[in-house]
Amino acid sequence: MNQPRASTPDEHKATAPTSVGCFVLTVSDTKTTDTDTSGKIIRDLLSGAGHTVVGSAIVRDEPADVTRVVREACADARVRVVILTGGTGITSRDSTFEAVSALLDKTLPGFGELFRVLSFQDVGAAAMLSRAQMGIHARRIVVSLPGSPNACRLALDKLLLPELGHLVREVSR
pLDDT attached to residue 1: 55
Instruction: Identify the CA nearest to 57 among candidates 47, 43, 46, 75.
Output: 43
Averaged over 69-85, what is the pLDDT?
Answer: 98
Domains parsed from the chain with CATH numbers: 19-171 (3.40.980.10)
% of the chain exceeding 70 in pLDDT: 97
Q: Where are the beta strands (DSSP E) in 92-156?
A: 106-107, 133-137, 140-145
CB burial readout 137-157, b (16+ within 10 A) else e: beebbbbbbbbbbebbbbbbe
Averaged over 141-157, what is the pLDDT?
Answer: 98
Provide the whole-model pTM: 0.94
Averaged over 112-123, what is the pLDDT?
Answer: 97
- Residue 2 pLDDT more than 70? no
157-166 pLDDT, tens digit each: 999 999 999 9
18-60 pLDDT, tens digit each: 999 999 999 999 999 999 999 999 999 999 999 999 999 999 9
